[in-house]
Amino acid sequence: MFNFAHLSDPHLTTLKQIPWSALINKRLMGYISWKTHRRAEHRREVLDLLLSSLQEHHLDHIVVTGDLTHLGLPQEFKEARQWLDSLNSIADTTVIPGNHETYIPTSYQATLKQWTPYFQSDSQEFIKQAPSEKDTPCFPSLRLRGPVAFIGVSSACPTPPFLATGRIDSKQMGDLEQILRSPSLNGFFKVLLIHHPPIPGSTRWRKRLTNAAQLSHILSQHPVDLILHGHTHQCSVAFLDTLKNDPIPVIGMPSASAKGIKPGYQSQYCLFHLNQENHTFRLSASLYHYIPEKEQFTFSRPLPLP
Provide the binding-site residues for Fe ion, judged by CB under 5 A: 67, 98-99, 231
Q: Can you name the residues that pair with 255 across neighbouring β-strands?
A: 8
Residue closest to Fe ion (Cβ): 231
Least distance (Å) between residue 73 CB and Fe ion: 16
| 185 or 270: CB nearest Fe ion | 270
| 99 or 267: CB nearest Fe ion | 99
Least distance (Å) between residue 8 CB and Fe ion: 9
| 69 or 172: CB nearest Fe ion | 69
Least distance (Å) between residue 209 CB and Fe ion: 11
Q: Can you name the residues that pair with 59 across neighbouring β-strands?
A: none
| 190 or 233: CB nearest Fe ion | 233
CA angle (140, 150, 174) in 5-degree steps? 30
Q: Do the bridges between strand 268-277 and strand 2-7 make them parallel or antiparallel, or are there none, so unpaired? A: antiparallel
Least distance (Å) between residue 125 CB and Fe ion: 31
Least distance (Å) between residue 37 CB and Fe ion: 16
Least distance (Å) between residue 259 CB and Fe ion: 18
| 182 or 234: CB nearest Fe ion | 234
Asked if residues 203 and 165 have their Cβ atoms less than 8 Å apart, the reply is no
| 70 or 190: CB nearest Fe ion | 70
